[in-house]
Structure 1
Amino acid sequence: MKEKMTENSIRLFEKKGFSETSIQDIVESIGVTKGTFYYYFTSKEQLLMDIHLAYIDELLNEQEKIIQILEKSCKDKLFEMVYMLLKSIKTKKSSATVFFREMKNLSEEKLAQILPKRDEFRNRIEQLLKEGIECGEFRSNLDTSIISFAILGVANWSYHWFDPDGEKTDQEVARIFMEMILQGIEAGR
């Protein structure tokens, strides 16, 4: 029941927004009482927090698996991370939308649990860039901090416009992003 309630809440939060979705909307969507809601969650914010934690923890786990593949180059690992983010938009678009759009509705106490995980994800990308510089895969003059933010900005913002059923697949979009990241858009490069 908790899973069903969470899944329905994700869809409602995506469609109506967190603030505009009431607990009554949630329980009516699955035909239970408010008592059932409070059996599983202390508040609507706790439900939102659970959604955030599930999304970022899954991304962190997937990212760690990519990092641990020793036979892959830094460039290949970076592609896998960008592709993973796009794939998560394809497979978990509603969760991605809620994660990025509704974070503003978490209290400072709850944000204090989410932000370090988000920072860890970015720091791992920055570390991968540094490793790529050390082994000669990437230019030595890169600002790895800014580049890691840029990569996440490009990939994460895709939840707004990327259509998994559209003209380009998630893998094709990831390749386009990687080409832009690695080679830029200047002619003659």
Structure 2
Amino acid sequence: MKEELTRQSIQLFERKGFNSTSVQDIVDSLGVTKGTFYYYFTSKETLLMDIHLSYIDDLLSRQQKVLNSNASCGKQLAEIVEMLINDIQTQGSNVRVYFREMRHLSEENSRVIKDKRRLFHLTIEQIIKEGIEKKEFRENLKPKMTTFAILGVTNWSYEWFDPSGNISPKELATMYMDFILHGIDIGGMNDECE
């Protein structure tokens, strides 16, 4: 029942937003009582925190598996980008709630999620630093800014990317990686753009 409550809540939060969804809406959609809801969650925010923790902990676990693969830095980065884009297909509603509704967490809960997000971010930054040291990536890259750019491009995709459209998640991830690793200029930055 906890999984059903969570699944239905994610659908409602995605469609109506966290603030516009009441506990009554959630239990009515499943035909259960409020007592059932409060047996599993002490509040609607506790449920939202559970949704956030579940997603970010799973993301960190999958990121760690990529790191443990001992693949090249470029391959690790590509796998992480593909993982993020693939989540839009496999966990679309969850991804949207994760990014859109964090602002409704208390300061204490928000800090916990932000710390975990920062760990995910810092791991990507470390991959880029290591790639520079191993001469896989350009030495003039700024790892922190490059990480922000990668996450900005991939994380925002949930707003517009339709996995059932003409481009698959794998194709979009490949396009992103080509852009990230090679840019769009034939010979690198030219004088006119500097």
Q: Give the TM-score normalised by the residue count of structure 1.
A: 0.98
Q: Per-residue displacement from partner, 1:23-65 (whole Å, max 9, x unpaired)? A: 0000001110111111100100000000000010111010000
Q: Which residue of 2 aligns with 1:59?
A: 59
Corresponding position: 1:175 with 2:174: yes
Corresponding position: 1:27 with 2:27: yes
Q: Which residue of 1 aligns with 2:183?
A: 184
Identity score, percent = 57
Q: Which residue of 2 aligns with 1:75?
A: 74
Task: Using the TM superposition, give the Cα deviation of residue 113 of structure 1 relative to its aligned residue in structure 2, in angstroms.
Answer: 1.1
Task: Using the TM superposition, give the Cα deviation of residue 188 of structure 1 relative to its aligned residue in structure 2, in angstroms.
Answer: 3.8
Q: Per-residue displacement from partner, 1:58-80 (whole Å, max 9, x unpaired)? A: 1101000001111x110011000
- Cα distance in 1 for residues equivalent to 2:104 and 2:89: 24
Structure 1, unaligned runs of 5 or more = none
- Cα distance in 2 for residues equivalent to 1:188 and 1:135: 22
Task: Using the TM superposition, give the Cα deviation of residue 187 of structure 1 relative to its aligned residue in structure 2, in angstroms.
Answer: 3.3
- Cα distance in 1 for residues equivalent to 2:67 and 2:88: 20
Aligned AA (1:156):
N
Aligned AA (1:127):
Q
- Cα distance in 2 for residues equivalent to 1:110 and 1:188: 46
Aligned AA (1:92):
Q
Task: Using the TM superposition, give the Cα deviation of residue 184 of structure 1 relative to its aligned residue in structure 2, in angstroms.
Answer: 0.9
- Cα distance in 1 for residues equivalent to 2:8 and 2:54: 15
- Cα distance in 2 for residues equivalent to 1:158 and 1:89: 8
4+ aligned runs moved over 2 Å, structure 1: none
Residue aligned with 1:133, SS: helix
Aligned AA (2:174):
R
Q: Which residue of 2 aligns with 1:165?
A: 164
- Cα distance in 2 for residues equivalent to 1:29 and 1:64: 37
Structure 2, unaligned runs of 5 or more = 189-194
Task: Using the TM superposition, give the Cα deviation of residue 186 of structure 1 relative to its aligned residue in structure 2, in angstroms.
Answer: 1.6
Residue aligned with 2:19, SS: coil
- Cα distance in 2 for residues equivalent to 1:89 and 1:55: 12
Residue aligned with 2:186, SS: coil
Aligned AA (2:24):
Q
Q: Which residue of 2 aligns with 1:117?
A: 116
Q: Give the TM-score normalised by the residue count of structure 2.
A: 0.95
- Cα distance in 1 for residues equivalent to 2:87 and 2:57: 12
Aligned AA (2:26):
I
Aligned AA (1:36):
T
Q: Which residue of 2 aligns with 1:42?
A: 42
